[in-house]
Amino acid sequence: MFATAQSSWDGPADEPAIRRELHEHVHAQIERLPDNYRVPLLLRDMEGLDNQEIADALGMTASAARVRIHRARQALRTLLVPRMSELG
């Protein structure tokens, strides 16, 4: 009959702290990426540029931009796996 709103009391008490820690860890690992991976990744995922826009901005082909983004994500995943397995 009545819609119930999910309150912040429903989750674990330390969830905001874990989220913040994870957010900081992800950003730290992105910073560890070499520039040739980090910059295209940020342009794509943070700025929302498409492959051609990234290519134009960085002086490369759209195909090269796509490959760099893919490799950046693979490298980031490799950096994140150890911490993610700690969190369960």
For the segment 10-21, what is each residue's pLDDT rounded down to a tens digit? Answer: 666 677 888 898
Cα–Cα dist 76/5, whole Å: 36
Residue 88 has pLDDT above 70, yes or no: no
Q: What is the pLDDT of residues 31-69, one digit of tens each?
A: 999 999 999 999 999 999 999 999 999 999 999 999 999
In eight-state DSSP terms, residue 11 is S
Task: State the pLDDT confidence band at 28, using cuts at 50, 70 and 90.
Answer: very high
For 64, residues 6+ apart whose C-beta sits below 8 A from its C-beta are 55
- Residue 26, both tokens: 């992800």
**Predicted pLDDT at 8:** 57
Domains observed in the chain: 34-87 (1.10.10.10)
